[in-house]
Structure 1
Amino acid sequence: MAHGDGVPEKVAWVLVRDGLVLVTRSHGRDRFYFPGGRREPGESDSETLVREIDEELRAAIEPGSMVHFGAFEIGEGHPEHGPFRMICYTADHRGELTPSREIAEKAWFRHADRDRVSAIDEMVFDALHEAGRLS
């Protein structure tokens, strides 16, 4: 779903542990992505993230722990899929990270693995690395 300016958006969860970041891969896809998804009509970012992480990884995001990490955007005409915006949050969770049927695989990546993710996700990898959070 697009926000006010019409650019399609995804709300994404950025979970970093021990210098590695969580990514997922959907069935039929080669690239990995940050978990999350698009808002349903009327949903807040918090509601979207809670719903999407439950659907994808069967874990419960703790909404009060959500911290905005950044908004990343690729422009019109980008070869992958532009324009597109990804709004990223860190957050605590409860429960094991168990991929649902829509997720083929979860993985923990280093900055060196950035070539295995989408172009917009590469931007987040770089921001995490520059912040000293991703090895």
Structure 2
Amino acid sequence: MQIIDKIAWLHLHDGKLLSTRSRGKDRYYIPGGKREAGESDEQTLRREIREELTVELTTGSLCYEGTFRAQAHGHAEGILVMMTCYSARYEGTLQPAAEIEEVVWLTYRDRPAVSAVDQVIFDWLYERQLLRA
């Protein structure tokens, strides 16, 4: 079994979750990405968010939220994604950059439009009454 290791930023506002869509993709994904060699979770997340959304996560504000697993979207059966999620404050103005074409705020009703691992995270947030229906 192959596992894709990803780090993600859970940013909620008014019961909506920040999400992104990359150019040429048909699904929304929680912002974040894969670590580069030798990077910590924090280094990975700070780099990815800076590259994708042009904001800086506030030093010392990262809070571990959970680790979630599911079939990797667009990959062969049995390839899983393991998403380690953090919340954090940020400085700057959110805007799409690099491969990101769209930045959106999603509610639970948007669950069908996200990847399988994001659906698991949507369920978890909804059960905790953090994500609006």
> Common fold, TM-score beyond 0.5?
yes
Partner of 2:105: 108
Partner of 2:16: 20
- The alpha carbon displacement at 1:126 in A equals 0.6
CA distance in 1, matches of 2:30, 2:93: 17
CA distance in 2, matches of 1:9, 1:70: 13
Q: Percent identity?
A: 44
CA distance in 2, matches of 1:9, 1:19: 27
Residue 125, structure 1, aligned to residue 115, structure 2? no
CA distance in 1, matches of 2:32, 2:60: 17
Partner of 1:66: 62
CA distance in 2, matches of 1:64, 1:79: 32
- The alpha carbon displacement at 1:74 in A equals 1.9
- The alpha carbon displacement at 1:83 in A equals 1.8
* TM-score, length of structure 2 as denominator length: 0.91
Partner of 1:36: 32
Greater share of strand: 2
Gaps spanning 5+ residues in structure 1: where? Answer: none
Contact 1:39–1:45 at 8 Å: present in 2 too?
A: yes
* TM-score, length of structure 1 as denominator length: 0.90
Aligned residues: 129
- The alpha carbon displacement at 1:7 in A equals 2.3
Gaps spanning 5+ residues in structure 2: where? Answer: none
4+ long deviations beyond 4 Å: none
